[in-house]
Amino acid sequence: MPFSYMEWWLAWRYLRARKAEGGVSVMTIISLLGVTIAVFSLVATLSVRTGFRIEFVSTLLGANAHTTIYSGLYSEESGRSSRRIVEYQDLAARLAQVDGVVRAVPQLRARLLAAAELGTTGVELFGMTEEDIRALPLIGNPESRVGSVEDIGKGVALGVGVARTLGVTVGDEIRLIAPEGARTPFGVAPRVNSYPVAYIFEVGRYDIDSVRAYLPFETAQVFLDREGGADEVLVFVDDPERIDDYEAALISAAGDSYFSWTWKDSSSSLLNALRMEDNLMIIVMSILVLIAASNIVSGLVMLVKNKESSIGILRSVGLSRGSIMRVFFLYGACIGVVGTLAGIALGCLFAIYIDQVFAVVNALAGGDVWDPKIRFLAKIPAIIELQDIFLAASLSLSLSFVVTLFPARRAAAMAPAEAIRYG
Query: What pLDDT digit, counting tens, does each position of 232-264 carry?
Result: 999 999 988 888 888 889 989 988 889 998 988
SS3 307: coil
Q: Is residue 242 domain-shared with residue 301, that is, in the same domain? A: no
- Specify the pLDDT at position 19: 54
> How many separate domains does the chain show?
2
Tell me: do 280 and 415 sit in the same domain.
yes
What lies within 8 Å, CB to CB, of 158 at 6+ separation is 114, 123, 166, 168, 174, 197, 199, 200, 201, 212, 213
The values of phi and psi at residue 401, to 5°, are -70, -40
Based on the domain organization, do 235 and 299 belong to the same domain? Answer: no
**Helices 308-316 & 268-306 angle (0-180, nearest 10):** 70
Same domain, 174 and 247: yes
In a domain, 335, yes or no: yes
Same domain, 99 and 186: yes
pLDDT of residue 337: 87
103 and 215 in one domain?
A: yes
Q: How far apart are CA 101 and CA 238, in angstroms?
A: 6
Pairing outcome for strands 173-184 and 101-116: antiparallel
Do 296 and 388 lie in a common domain? yes
What is the rounded distance in angstroms from the CA atom of residue 17 to the CA atom of residue 328?
Answer: 14
Contact 197, 169 (CB under 8 A): yes
Global confidence as pTM:
0.66
pLDDT, residue 304, reads 65
Claim to verify: residue 138 and residue 40 sit in the same structural domain = no
Task: Give domain status of residue 79, yes or no.
Answer: yes
Residue 152 lies in a domain: yes
Contact 416, 316 (CB under 8 A): yes
Which SS3 state, helix, strand or coil, does residue 253 take? helix
How much is the average pLDDT of 132-143? 87
Residue 161 has pLDDT above 80, yes or no: yes
Residue 26 sits in the same domain as residue 91: no
Residues 137, 189 share a domain: yes
Asked if residue 127 is part of any domain, the answer here is yes
pLDDT at 228: 84
User: pLDDT tens digits, residue range 324-380?
Assistant: 777 777 777 888 888 899 999 999 998 888 878 877 777 776 666 565 555 555 567
- The neighbouring-strand residues paired with 418 are none
Looking at the structure, tell me whether residues 252 and 274 fall in a common domain: no
Structural domain range at position 77: 73-256
Q: Is 89 among the domain residues?
A: yes
The top-scoring range by mean pLDDT among 72-81, 175-184, 281-290 is 281-290
Ranges 269-278, 295-304, 353-362, 382-391, most confident:
382-391
Radius of gyration of the CA atoms of the chain, in A = 32
Distances (CA, A) of 335 to 19, 33, 293, 340, 404: 18, 9, 9, 8, 10
**Average pLDDT value over all residues in the chain:** 81
Asked if 139 and 231 sit in the same domain, the reply is: yes
Distance CA 203, CA 136 (A): 11
Task: Tell me, rounded to whole angstroms, the distance of Cα 59 from its chain centroid.
Answer: 11
Q: Which of 259, 252, 262, 258 is nearest to 87 (CA)?
A: 258
For 80-136, how does the pLDDT look when each residue is reduced to its tens digit (9 = 90+)?
Answer: 777 888 888 999 999 999 999 999 999 999 999 999 988 899 999 999 999 999 888
| β pairing state of 156-159 and 187-202 | parallel
Q: Which one of 188, 222, 256 terminates a domain?
A: 256
Domain edge (last residue) among 198, 226, 256: 256
Question: 183: pLDDT confidence band, cut at 50, 70 and 90?
Answer: low
Instruction: Find which of 27-36, 211-220, 375-384 is predicted with most confidence, using mean pLDDT.
Output: 211-220
Evaluate whether residue 82 is within a structural domain.
yes
* Domain-embedded: residue 315: yes
- Domain-ending residue, one of 225, 256, 287: 256
User: 354 lies in a domain?
Assistant: yes
